[in-house]
Amino acid sequence: MLALCPVVRAMSIETRNPGPITMYGADWCGDCRRAKSWFADNDIEYTYVDLIEQPDETETVLARNAGRKNIPVIVFADDSHLTEPSNADLQAKVDELADATKPAAGDPQRVVVDNVEASRFELRTEPDGELISFADYSDRNGSLVVPHVETLMEHRGNGFAAELMAGVVTNLRSTDRTITPLCPFAAGYLRDRPDTHDLLA
């Protein structure tokens, strides 16, 4: 049985949405304040992690920066990041992500489904149903254990695994379930998005 996950489709041509963004920073940091202003001016949503209030998240900054403490560190939907970016750098990255996920006229849309019989979430094209990415899971009393996330070879390098995980998060919230991410990609995706930490089992 295939269950449609809510609100996870490819963006329309008019949309300039770069996907989930997480910024690690501190209020004393001038570059952090500038980046915040840039996101506000461009009406782009993001999750802000205050390293003063959440000092444990400094480990994420160090891991992303090869041991350096430079901030802000801004993590994007394709799992790339920018450190101390200029406004021009931010604009270029947001444009790149929006263009990468914008379907051409006539291209199929994408949708995330919960393939209950196969015990996996699937990112598929619509309406032809071509499989792009999948995340295996086992359901342990309402907590999903995810050992493996994979994108088919011909579709790799396009951020589809992150798009799939966004659909998984949406499904977990709509079905009131939690997740134990054993797959390194799934674990990293959730770790870099503090707004999903309440879903961790």
Cα–Cα distance between 37 and 26 in angstroms, integer?
A: 14
The Cα–Cα gap between 82 and 55 comes to: 20
Which of 67, 101, 135 is at the close of a domain?
Answer: 101
- Residues 91, 145, single domain; the answer is no
CATH number at 32 reads 3.40.30.10
Domain presence at residue 16? no
**Mean per-residue pLDDT of the chain:** 85
Is the same domain home to 108 and 195? yes
| pTM assigned to the model | 0.56
Residues 95 and 120 in one domain: no
* 118 and 83 co-located in one domain: no
Helix-, strand-, coil-residue percentages of the chain, each rounded to 5 = 35, 30, 35
Tens of pLDDT along 71-96? Answer: 999 999 888 999 999 999 999 998 88
For 130, the domain range is 2-11+104-199
| Residue 139 and residue 92 in one domain | no
**C-alpha to C-alpha distance for 102 and 16, rounded to whole angstroms:** 8
